[in-house]
Amino acid sequence: MGLVATRPARHAAPSRRGSRGKKIATAALLAAALLAGRLWVVEPVTVSSESMEPAVPRGSTVLMFKPGPALGGLKAGDLVVFTSPDDGNPAIKRAIAFHGQTVAIEDSVLVVDGVPQPEPGIDHSRIDGTYFGPVTVPGGHVFVLGDNRAGSIDSRSYGSVPLADLQATVLWPAGR
Tell me which residue of 137, 62, 154, 147 sits closest to 108, measured CA to CA: 147
| Marked catalytic residue, from 49, 84, 93, 152 | 93
| 107: phi then psi, degrees, rounded to nearest 5 | 50, 50
Closest CA to 56 of 65, 45, 42: 45
Q: Is 75 a catalytic residue?
A: no
Indicate the Cα dihedral angle 75, 77, 82, 87, nearest 10°: 140
Nearest-Å Rg of the Cα atoms of the chain is 27
**Residue 66: active-site member:** no
> Running DSSP on this structure, what letter comes out for residue 148?
S
Catalytic residue among 51, 84, 155, 160: 51
Active site residues: 51, 93
